[in-house]
Amino acid sequence: MPSVSVPNKGEKGWDTLCSQRRKFWKQAKNNTLTAHFKADEFYCHDGSPPPTLARPAMVRLCRDFLEPLRSKFGEALVLSGYRHEDYNNRIGGARYSQHIYEHNFESVAADMRFAKGTPAQWAAEAKRLRTKHGGDGGVGLYPRQGFIHVDNRGYKADWSG
């Protein structure tokens, strides 16, 4: 868990926190994560911006996984990046989801779809990239839904949904 106190959506301080985050992410040098990925692609579906402290982990995720996947499989779409705890609970996400960036600012997740290939091919390549970068990270395969989950947690995890 983070060592800072973060209000939940709807609690006192949430709107101020989101305003501060938006101001940070509006700066081009902060919003640009890598050549093809921007932080605003990772905003929660309700418009809430990700924690600013998660930026280094977001850059690593893009650099180590998403850019190489994009290079191999073409245009990439971030289906789901950051989720605050309230949103994650509302959609039935895992209690300790890597999408809740406040749980661990050093580990972030993205659900992805690419222009070419299949989810099985994307997941196989993500696992190859994971090995190349030390063997840690999560790769979830969702063939029926047509996407993969990739994260940079500090241990190896694989699943299919």
Residue 3 has pLDDT above 70, yes or no: no
The architecture that CATH gives domain 14-160 is 2-Layer Sandwich (3.30)
Taking the domains of the chain in order of start, what are their residue ranges?
A: 14-160
Q: Over the chain, what is the mean pLDDT?
A: 95
pLDDT-derived band at 6, boundaries 50, 70, 90: confident
pLDDT tens digits along 139-148:
999 999 999 9
What is the arithmetic mean of pLDDT over 126-135? 97
Contact 6, 51 (CB under 8 A): yes
Q: What is the pLDDT of residue 7?
A: 87
Residue 154 predicted with pLDDT over 60: yes
The answer to pTM > 0.85 is yes
CA 57/CA 51 separation, integer angstroms: 11
What are the beta bridge partners of residue 152?
none
Place of tokens 């989801």: 97
User: Is pLDDT above 60 for 1?
Assistant: no
- What is the three-state SS of the chain? CCCCCCCCCCCCCHHHHHHHHHHHHHCHHHHECCCCCEHHHHCCCCCCCCCHHHHHHHHHHHHHHHHHHHHHHCCEEEEECCCCHHHHHHCCCCCCCCCCHHHCCCCCEEEEEECCCCHHHHHHHHHHHHHHCCCCEEEEEECCCCEEEEECCCCEEEEEC
pLDDT in tens, 90-111: 999 999 999 999 999 999 999 9
Confidence of residue 4 (pLDDT cuts 50, 70, 90): low
pLDDT grade, residue 56 (50/70/90)? very high
pLDDT digits (tens, 9 = 90+) for 7-27: 888 889 999 999 999 999 999
